[in-house]
Structure 1
Amino acid sequence: MKIAGQLIEYNSHEFKVLFDGLFPAMSLLATRILRDEDRGRDIAQEAFVKLWERDSEDFASENALRAYLYVLIKNACLSEIRKEKNFKRTSIEDGLFVQEQEFLNEVLREETYRLLRDAIKDLSPQGQRVVTLALRGYTNQDISEELEVSINTVKTLKKRAYKSLREKLGSQFVVLLLTELIRFF
C-alpha cells in the first residue's frame, strides 16, 4: 500500500506504527457501535486484514487511510447488526439503531480524542500528568499531593500546559474539551 506516495510494506516497522496508532481508535469506534468490546476488537482486526489483502491501495494521506478504515468499520458493524437482528438488506433509517448521524458523531468524537491525546503527548512529562489528572477531576490540591509538588508548581504546570494546548488546538477547542469531555479520562 502507498500513503502519500510512500510504499508501506505490511511486515514493516512503518505498518506496525500505523497499526499501533490507528487500531485503538478503530476498535473503540466498533465497540461503541456494537456495544460489545470483544466484537469491536474483532471488527477492527478484520478491517486491517482487509486492508492487508488490498495491498495495491494508494492513499493520498494518512487521513485518507483513516477515512477508508472508518468506512470499513461502519460497514462491518452494520453487517453484524443485520445478522444479529436478522434484517434483510435495508437502509439504516429503516430500522437499524445505528444511524448515519450517530456514526458520524462517533467518528468526530474519536478524532477529537485522538487530537487531544496527541496534543497532550507533546507536553512535558509533568505537564502530561497534571493535565491528565485535572481531566480526571482532581483538584490542584489533589494533584499536588499525588505528584508530591507544591500547589504553586501545579498551578504553573497547568497554566503552561493549557497555554500549549490552546496554541496547538485553538482556544475554543480546548474549552470544549475541558468542559464537555472530562469523562474521556
Structure 2
Amino acid sequence: MSGDRKDFTHREYKSYFEGLYPQLCVFAYKYLSDLDTSKDIVQDVFIKVWESKTVFENETHATGFFYKAVKNKCLNYLKSKTYRVTECYELAKLEAYDTEEFYMSEAVVIETTVVIENAINGLPEKAAQVIRLSIKDFTNNEIAEQLSISINTVKDHKKVAYHKLRKILGFLKMR
C-alpha cells in the first residue's frame, strides 16, 4: 500500500480489504459477540476510510489504524442507547473492553492466528488435515480413522508438518 493517496487504487484497496476483513470481523466479534453486527461495523469502517481518502504511511500504519477504528466503533456501539435497551448491558465488561491491554491481546491473538493458519495452508493437504484435527485434540487413532489412513501415516504427516511449521513459525518463539 502506498503512502501517496494518488497511487492507492480501488483495486489495491479492495485487495487490502479482502485480506484484512476476516480478522477484523473476528476482532469485532470479541467485543460484540454478534457476527452480523461485527461484519457491519468492519464494512462501515472500510467505507468511511475509503470515502474520507485517508492516507497511510505504510501497511503497518494502515493495519493498526483499522484495528483501532474497529475497536472504537465497537465500543461506541456498546455504549449506544439502542444496544443498552436491547441487550444485557454490563458496564464492567465495557470498561474491560476499553483497556489497551484487551485491545493489544486480542489484536495479537488474531494476527498470530492468521499467521499460523497461513502456515498450515502451505502444508501438503493431508499433513494440513492431520494438523487441524490434532489441534482439535483428536488422538492419532481418531485422526487415522477420520482420514482413513494408518496410524503410522498420521505420525509421518505430523512429523513432516511439525518440521515445516517450525521453520515457518520459528520467529514466534518467545525469548
Question: TM bucket by the smaller chain?
Answer: 0.7 to 0.9
| 2:133 alignment counterpart | 133
Q: Is this contact kept in 1: 2:134–2:143, CA < 8 A?
A: yes
Q: CA deviation at 1:110?
A: 0.6
Give the helix-richer structure, 1 or 2.
Answer: 2
Alignment TM-score, normalising by the size of structure 2 = 0.81
Alignment gaps of 5+ in structure 1? 87-91, 175-185
Alignment TM-score, normalising by the size of structure 1 = 0.77
**1:70-149 map, 5 Å:** 70-83=67-80, 84-85=83-84, 96-100=95-99, 101-149=101-149
Aligned to 1:27, the other structure's residue is in SS state: helix
| 1:64 alignment counterpart | 61
**Using the alignment, how far apart are the partners of 1:56 and 1:68 within structure 2?**
10
| 2:28 alignment counterpart | 30
**1:36-51 map, 5 Å:** 36-51=34-49
Count of aligned pairs between the two proteins: 164
Alignment gaps of 5+ in structure 2? 86-90
2:137 aligned partner, one-letter code: G
**Using the alignment, how far apart are the partners of 1:69 and 1:125 within structure 2?**
33
**Using the alignment, how far apart are the partners of 1:129 and 1:121 within structure 2?**
10
1:16-35 per-position Cα deviation (integer Å, ceiling 9, x unaligned): 33222211111111111122
